[in-house]
Amino acid sequence: MKIVIDGYEDLVMPEGDETLGQLLVELEKWIKDNKRVIVQIRLEGKPLSKKEKEALLQKKVSEFKVLELFTANPWQWAISSLSQMREYLPEIAMDMEKVSLLIQKGDYKKAFSLLDSCINLWNWVNENLEKIEKTFALDYTQILFKRGRLIDKIREFLELIEETNRALKNSDFLTVADILEYELAPRIREEQEIVGEIAELLKQQMN
């Protein structure tokens, strides 16, 4: 396997018998030691999602040809990511309200296509929040905001996601519409404020 990091080849050489999971652990440590953070992984030229990565961790590196990593300065990446989140969250909330309206109109095909896009973007937000917590040794269980503890807000949101999934399995689409419009969308808008406060915490660390 050829490893390319920010366009440079052979900075790290893989062992032939190691797994992709073992290699990624080594690469994450090497990049962290060089005061960088991984912002994207590409395998065979395609972006590797968190779900895909988990499915491939036990495969041997010899089964693949090219692994590309793109890195950034941790502070710049985190502040940029949080800024993007603050832009995306209102869009996700608005789209969830649109999904609710489409469901009420009976246009399920458009509704669930748009909901899928919302979920993908929401997953990106959550994955990056987790990465920021890990990279900067933040403890979200200890962070207290004006509206309560961050960990409690996350727990409430996950409970609503589970409730939505149950309603979907039961084909109770009107309940799905209500949860999206009256529960999830407002909480996503609230999370925009939380993201802003996390950005302030990071800026304080920088100083």
Per-domain boundaries in the chain: 2-72, 75-206
| Three-state secondary structure call for residue 8 | strand
Residue 145's pLDDT is what?
65
> Which region holds residue 9: left if phi is over 0, alpha if psi is between -120 and 50, else beta?
beta
How much is the pTM?
A: 0.79
Residue 50's pLDDT is what?
80
Q: Residues 1, 44: contact at Cβ < 8 Å?
A: no
| Contacts of 205 by beta carbon, 8 Å cutoff, 6+ apart | 136
Q: Residues 20, 59: contact at Cβ < 8 Å?
A: yes
119 token code pair:
């979920």
| Contacts of 133 by beta carbon, 8 Å cutoff, 6+ apart | 139, 140
Determine whether domain 2-72 maps to CATH 2.40.50: no
55 token code pair:
């499915």
**Mean pLDDT per 10-residue section of the chain, whose length is 207 residues:** 92 86 93 92 91 88 94 93 93 95 94 91 88 86 68 80 90 93 90 84 79
Query: Pairing state of beta strands 8-9 and 2-5?
Result: antiparallel
| Contacts of 22 by beta carbon, 8 Å cutoff, 6+ apart | none
Residue 146's pLDDT is what?
63
In the sheet with 46-47, reading across from the earlier edge strand, the strands are 8-9, 2-5, 66-72, 37-43, 46-47
